[in-house]
Amino acid sequence: MYQVIILGTILLVSLYVSKRIHNQKLNMPPLVRYKIPIIGHTYSYLFNCEEFLKQCKKEYGDIFSIYVWGHVRTIVGKEYAQDILSRDDAFNFSVAFNKKFPGDLLLKNLGPFDPTRLLKDHITCKLDLYSERMQKSLYSATQKYIDIGDHDGPKVFNNMYHLMTRIISTPIANIFIGEEESQYEEVIKTFSEFTSDSAALLKVPPILDFIYPGLQNYFNRILVKSGLYNPATKHQDILTKHIKNQVCKRLEEKKKYGDSWKRPNDFLQDIMERDDFDPINVSYLSLADRMFALIFASIHTTAGGCANAFMDLASRPQYMQELYEEQLEVHKEADENGVLPFEALNKMKKLDSFVRESLRLVGHLTSLEHAVIKNYTFSNGLQVPKDRVVYVYADDVYQDESLQGPNPKSFEPFRHVDKNTVASKISKNYLPFGGGRHACPGRYFAINEIKFFMHNMILNYNFRTESGKVEKRKMIGPAALPSTSGIIIEKKVK
């Protein structure tokens, strides 16, 4: 037994050393000097990231490497960021994500799955059809979760992100599995909590990677595979139950009523009508995992964007009146139930600009990590080896005046009005949805949700930060999270 362990250890070390020697033949980006062995730059990256990265770029140029959590990772500045987003033959986001997250074990019934294709075929192309349902669900969820009721005065709400996950999940659940099932609170809870529960595996510092790169993910995989910790199980049970209810009901009704059957218009029905759906042998677990894959990618980002935009406006009450007047004008097109036509979204120009500015200054210092799937040479001659993980230096993009215009660091909400740069439009100076062929196809849905939510809040509520100050994002290393500070909300007196 000991001989096997010793031989295995020697083999791993030999492979690692051999790989390092091979990589040294490449003209790789400079590795930033560090003083503490093993720890490397980890401390500076976690606790002084903004200044640390600025100093690195100043000393080492647009592309440099740092040693964090036992890994060498390469940071790519604004001049070469588009290489990562456009050269999908050399850089891959999914491979990088799978290096640190056991998604294949959490969603083991997923099977062959192309989320981009599904979103484009069944969600993005139907945004106008889903507009009314989205609005009604959002408005009812807002009344439910921002429940001021007969409260005489203002009410304080803390941690808007958690509140927003419930509100944002309501229309998504409605459109994914139908209006009937989305009425159940346990369904909304599952939609809103699945991502945060699963992402708990990402919140654990990868300390084991100091021993050997990738060891932390290996340990996490053992936890999930053994059943010692699987945060997805309880949510899978709930969603599978509700999906089964709907699938059985729809198959029975279609058989009973034939051509007179009224077809539900939602994502679940679209999936049931695909060629790979077998009504005789339905895999409910597979259907649930497909939805969870989309939920994981959509709820967190949309709720975070919405919470940030809401906090940004609450922090800047001087812009409230101008936005209120615009939304009041737009709302003249609403029907007797207060529902806007889909086209009204295009007339929210100032609100759209506000949302884009909020997303532009989301606060992430690095983002869009990609794995190098083959050795790649940048135009400046520097090379990154296969299996290296590279990050876009997002702060370098957003703080550059030549890319952003005057005062790039300041929040100017109407910066994008009349510039043909709507909040859902990707460009080399705007990266919240990625770029290239693999830019997030769900961005249109997300922006529409945020705008409809903000439209309703601006028209019907007064809100401001409890501190009376501009509340900034909460930073954890290079990542920015929505502020957890309080927001005071009260109904408008009309």
Mean pLDDT for 359-365 is 96
Share of the chain above pLDDT 90, in %: 82
The reported pTM is 0.92
SS3 25: coil
Question: Using CA atoms, how far apart are residues 382 and 161, in angstroms rounded to an integer?
Answer: 40
Decide if 483 contacts 460 (C-beta within 8 A). no
Torsion of CA 58, 63, 67, 71, to 10 degrees: 160
- Asked whether residue 8 carries a pLDDT value surpassing 60, the answer given is no
Write out the binding residues for heme: 440
Which tens digit of pLDDT belongs to each residue from 98-118? 999 999 999 998 888 788 888
Provide the pLDDT for residue 374: 97
Helix (H, G, I), strand (E, B) or coil at 61: coil
pLDDT digits (tens, 9 = 90+) for 82-96: 999 999 999 999 999
Quote the CA–CA distance of 109 and 94 in Å, as a whole number: 18
Q: In this predicted model, what pLDDT tens digit does every residue of 286-325 receive, in sequence order? A: 999 999 999 988 899 999 999 999 999 999 999 999 999 9
What's the whole-number average pLDDT of the chain? 91
Three-class DSSP category at 105: helix
Tell me: the pLDDT tens digits for 469-491? 999 999 999 999 999 999 999 98
Residues that constitute the known binding site: 440
400-420 per-position pLDDT tens digit: 999 999 999 999 999 999 888
Among 174-178, 374-378, 438-442, the least confident range: 438-442
pLDDT at 134 over 90: yes
Domains and CATH numbers, the chain: 2-27+50-491 (1.10.630.10)
pLDDT of residue 152: 62
**3 state DSSP class of 374:** coil
